[in-house]
Structure 1
Amino acid sequence: MKKEQHIIPDSAIKGIATGLIMMAVFTSLWAGIGYGGLKDTGYWFVLIIFPALSVLFVVNAIKLFNAAKHFPKLTSEADIAEEKRMGKWFGIIFGTEGLGIFIGINVVINLGHPELTMPVLALVVGLHFFPLAKVFKRTIDYYLATWSTVIAILSIALSLNKTLTQSGVFTLLGIGIGIATSCYGIYMITEGKRLYRLQIG
């Protein structure tokens, strides 16, 4: 029985490569937030893993951009329409995320809780993974959404009841969300390699 040929468009590989660049940036940003909480302690060195992973993500992104030339371009009208649909919803979700962050931050500041700025930002980031999961049909997005949302809500609660100082909240958020973006990047590397093997054999 002949093995079924998998046809993977170059846009799929470029999409993963672009995602890796984004995860490299976001992982570094959250590591920076975590450093803000740990800089006065002797434990900041644990954050070194995040910049290291960011470099790994960029290196693999470059490899995938180069590998994309071995993949065919979309020719089917149905595939092109589906790609446009996903691109449209991706833009809508990120636009909504930006608006949500703006509104959320302004709400907590006007309520007299500027210390909740970062936790609210993290909450919106976590929530935006839920619609992404549906648009791209990826189960991992649900796990990352749940994890990030729980970390954000926990940081809000621990900040309000004074269990954690602002440095403690930064540490929790930086490490917690950094783990999420790192896991996403590792998933993308694995997925990119899987698709490459399917195409090249």
Structure 2
Amino acid sequence: MSQTIIPRAAVRGTASGVLFMAFFGTLWAGIGIRGLQGWGFLWLLILSLLIGVLLLIGGIKLIKNSRRLSNAMMEGDATRRSKRMGMMFGIIFGLEGLLIAAASAICSATNHLDLFVPVMALIVGAHFFPLAHLFRVRIHYIAGTLLCLLATITLLTLPVRVTLGHHQIEVWWATVGFGSALILWGTGVAVWLTGLRLLKRARNGFKEDVDSFRL
């Protein structure tokens, strides 16, 4: 039946992407809030959590609605490919974590903690490129490019910190934190819309099959 053209795993894959973007986007927003050193803390925290929760709900709804789809295509070569993709994702994600841990240790040991957040954004941005190739999701190329550009431009053009009156702002942390959050949240919305389109195609295909059967 046409319903199997859009397997459950495809929709749940997009849902997982939405959940990841919701979680990590909110974490980056937290870094941005910390960079402001108390300015607008409560309102920015509420706004960040609200955006994260909305994306989280969107991802959960995709998973819930995917239950009606078939997984008939997940056999043979498709199953083996799915397992391979899962293994490669684990390797990429694990390597990203190791690089971030190494960057943290080096920045701390050399007393350059200011560098850590921009360097971490570079690492996160770079990890999107193999993910884009692995999952064949072009939006990940855009996300990776934007994150790398954000970190690079911040390092090259902005001061580490500024003092306004008696208040000090960590410019690198605030800029990279909020910028990365917006990039990841935007990517999450794009992936969520892709999931909705997959669900719509699956439903339309199933409806066509039912109509053909009635005829």
Q: Is the 8 A contact 2:33 2:44 kept in 1?
A: no
Matched residue type, 1:167: E
1:15 aligned residue (13, 24, 32): 13
Structure exhibiting the larger radius of gyration computed from Cα positions: 2
Which range is displaced more, 60-69 or 149-158?
Answer: 149-158
DSSP 3-state at the match of 1:33: helix
Q: Is the 8 A contact 1:50 1:182 kept in 2?
A: no
Q: In the comparison of the two structures, how many residue pairs are matched?
A: 195
Q: Who is 1:68 aligned against?
A: 66
Q: Alignment partner for residue 183 of structure 1, among 182, 186, 198?
A: 186
Contact 1:105 1:117 in 2 (8 A): yes
1:1-201 equivalences in 2 (<5 Å): 7-41=5-39, 45=43, 49-73=47-71, 74-158=73-157, 163-165=159-161, 167-201=170-204
Unaligned runs of 5+ in 1: none
Structure 1 residues 23 and 102: CA distance shift in structure 2, 3 A: same
Q: Please, which runs of 5 or more residues in structure 2 have no aligned partner?
A: 162-168, 205-215
Q: Relative to 1, partners in 2 of residues 1:138 and 1:75: Cα closer, same or farther, differing over 3 Å?
A: closer
Query: CA shift at 1:13, angstroms?
Result: 1.6
Deviating 4+ runs (over 4 angstroms)? 42-49
SS of equivalent to 2:120: helix
> Does the CA contact (< 8 Å) of 1:38 and 1:44 recur in 2?
no
RMSD of Structure 2 on Structure 1 (CA): 2.2
Code of the residue aligned with 1:98 in structure 2: it is: G
Per the alignment, do residues 43 and 124 of structure 1 end up closer, same or farther by CA in structure 2, a change over 3 Å counting? same
Q: Could you tell me the percent identity over the aligned residues?
A: 34
Distance in 1 (CA, whole Å) between partners of 2:137 and 2:67 is 25
CA shift in 2, pair 1:158/1:108, >3 Å: farther
Q: Normalising by structure 2, what TM-score?
A: 0.81
Deviation at 1:156, TM superposition (A): 3.2
1:101–1:121: 8 Å Cα contact kept in structure 2?
yes
Q: Secondary structure at the match of 1:41?
A: coil
Deviation at 1:42, TM superposition (A): 5.1
Cα distance, 1:154 vs. partner? 2.8
Could you tell me whether the CA contact under 8 Å between 1:35 and 1:44 is conserved in 2? no
Contact 1:17–1:62 under 8 Å retained in 2: yes
TM-score normalised to structure 1 length = 0.87
C-alpha displacement of 1:135: 0.6
